A = this chain, B = another copy of it.
């Protein structure tokens, strides 16, 4: 069906090597020869078969980006950034989601698609350290997200402890003392949320406030519904928090929904802080104060590391890269009711 190098060579009356030279911009080709071959290429509408090229070179030009859930805007926004960053290196991105299931996370980082992708950027939830150490696959892997591992892979994540502390610090500065944490994981030692939870503990302790475990609520997942349920449970316990720090924005938004239903005012009765700065947090009736990780930087670093590994050359030590973050203060903690500037995006359906 397709036009091959051979067809072009025949048409131009040269060997396929010469056509290949032209296609790959090999320097030692006379202008006349180049023009002649180019004419044949144009006439036949030739385009290189990437599959064949990849078979030959052992590379596909595709990297995978696996996140727990595309329905979480944080990951969707991050995926967009990764796609753009990869495009700058001529890589194509295959986005996958693991539904937060350990077995799908394993599948993704083990054999799965090993011959289709050159490398993988993975944001795990349930993957254990041993899973990583047992990994057979030799293709490059870059890890994203809160969990930290003792494994020989590049890891990109903001300083979650420090970021969480800054959020709690902000609430303490407002005079709040009964600060709840929403979104720990039920019954797990080294749980996904442990760094943010640690930040919560550390900052409270540093301020001379004893962390009250009765103010920590575990959730099944990390969506709006989980946040709404967690807030309901917290209130049901008879706990009387004056502030809530949520594992992420979705949980915070769900919690605010419950507060609205119960007639509790934000921030007067209960101040709320989230984590992620998804766009939605800026547009609710009450803007959400939240930790704002530099998503562009995360995506860029992840792709850069992966591409560097793929390029080979000097083998460098695995790195831990800490992109920046800042606390975006909005109405949910008494910040100004700022009108978000209209952004000229083009996200229709």
Residues of A within 8 A of B (CB): 1-2, 45, 47-52, 54-55, 58, 60-62, 68-77, 79-80, 83, 92-97, 99-101, 111, 113-116, 123, 125, 136, 138, 145-146, 183, 192-193, 220-226, 228-229, 247-248, 250, 253-254, 256-258, 260-261, 275-276, 279-280, 282-286, 337, 339-349
Contacts and interface: CB of A to CB of B under 8 A. Distances in A.
A60 B115 CA distance: 11
Nearest to A69: B347
B71 A346 contact: no
Q: Which residue among A72, A75, A145, A254 has the maximum number of chain B CB atoms within 10 Å of its CB?
A: A72
Interface of A is mostly: loop
A73 B125 CA distance: 21
Contact of A68 (B2, B94, B114, B349): B349
A344 B70 contact: no
A77 B223 CA distance: 13
10 contacts: A1-B58, A1-B138, A68-B348, A69-B347, A71-B73, A71-B80, A123-B349, A220-B344, A225-B342, A280-B280
Contacts of A54: 51
A48 B115 CA distance: 8
Nearest to A138: B1
